[in-house]
Amino acid sequence: MKSFAAALLGLAAVTGAAMAQTPPANLSLEVTFNVFARGMNAGDFSYRFSQTGQAYEASATREMKGLIGAALNRSQDYTYSVRGAVAADGSLQPSAYQHQGGRRRADRPNGRLVRATFTANDVETIAIPAMGMGDPRATPAQRRGVIDQVTAIAAMAVASGDPCTRTMRVYMDGRSRFDFVFIPNGRVNVNTRAYRGEALRCSVQFRPIAGFGDPQEPATLTFLFAQTPSGIYAPVTIEMPTDGAGIVRLEARWLAINGTPLR
């Protein structure tokens, strides 16, 4: 996978397929990951999701720290937010997504602002200042039935059944289109600051489709999910290959469901 930025938040998205059970009408999920690259704690990724009745909203921040943060000159620091609706089958359907960050300049001290509006048949993206939409650009047919990557984290968590047996459609940052194909890869014991116990391990095939600024190659990631008493599948560890930083590892150091820490 060529892009470290894409790897860091391109976690997954479901296509709107029906789930076997409807999640609770009121639900919250909070998680903070340490980001490890080249053996160093390179930064933080924090995420918050809340569902009230048939509406939801989510936000996230990514901040690189230390020597890596200094070397990147804040070019990988972003804020994200999304709001949407919860369908009758429990699937999450975004309506308005945005992120801001990336390289700062005098004319954009907070980085580029990107907004994406989701409809039943397409996604419309507006960027200030304007950005390229990749070569080739994702077609309307390829954009149909996708969700953003911020919604995707919650979609993985609230899905019922084995999270390692699904194909997920991702439209990341209002531009990049790819699939994640999840394959079961056993169970492992986990002992981290956020969770101690058994976790499901998924091998995840990254399949690029369209809308990337740089050439992409298929890659395989690893996700570990903790199944919680509430039925939520909490992502506790994610490992992904990158060209510039080797294997990047996201490890949850804090994870709470409905305000109660998992560990």
Q: What is the mean pLDDT of the chain?
A: 85
**The predicted structure's pLDDT at residue 66:** 62
Chain centroid offset of residue 89 CA:
21
pLDDT value at 60 more than 70? yes
pLDDT in tens, 3-46: 433 444 444 333 333 333 455 578 899 999 999 988 889 899 99
pLDDT in tens, 177-206: 999 899 999 999 999 899 999 999 999 999
Prediction pTM value: 0.84
Continuous segment of H or E residues that includes residue 149: helix 149-158
Query: Residue 206 — φ and ψ, nearest 5°?
Result: -90, 120
Residue 6 tokens read as: 């894409």
Beta strands in the chain (DSSP E): 26-37, 40-52, 55-64, 78-86, 92-101, 112-118, 123-128, 167-172, 176-191, 196-210, 219-227, 233-242, 246-257, 260-261
CA distances from residue 114 to 68, 127, 176, 198, 214 in whole angstroms, order as listed: 25, 4, 13, 38, 19
Continuous segment of H or E residues that includes residue 160: none
**What whole-number distance in Å separates Cα of residue 263 and Cα of residue 259?**
12
Query: Residue 156 — φ and ψ, nearest 5°?
Result: -65, -40
Residue ranges of the domains in the chain?
4-261
pLDDT value at 70 more than 60? no
Under a CB-based contact definition with an 8 Å cutoff, are residues 47 and 58 in contact? yes
| Average of per-residue pLDDT across 143-169 | 86
Out of 94-98, 184-188, 246-250, least confident range: 246-250
Highest mean pLDDT among 19-28, 44-53, 229-238: 44-53
**The predicted structure's pLDDT at residue 123:** 96
Burial grade of 174 (CB within 10 A; 0-12, 13-18, 19 or more): buried
**The predicted structure's pLDDT at residue 16:** 33
- DSSP letters, 3-38, are -HHHHHH-------PPPSSPPPSEEEEEEEEEEEET
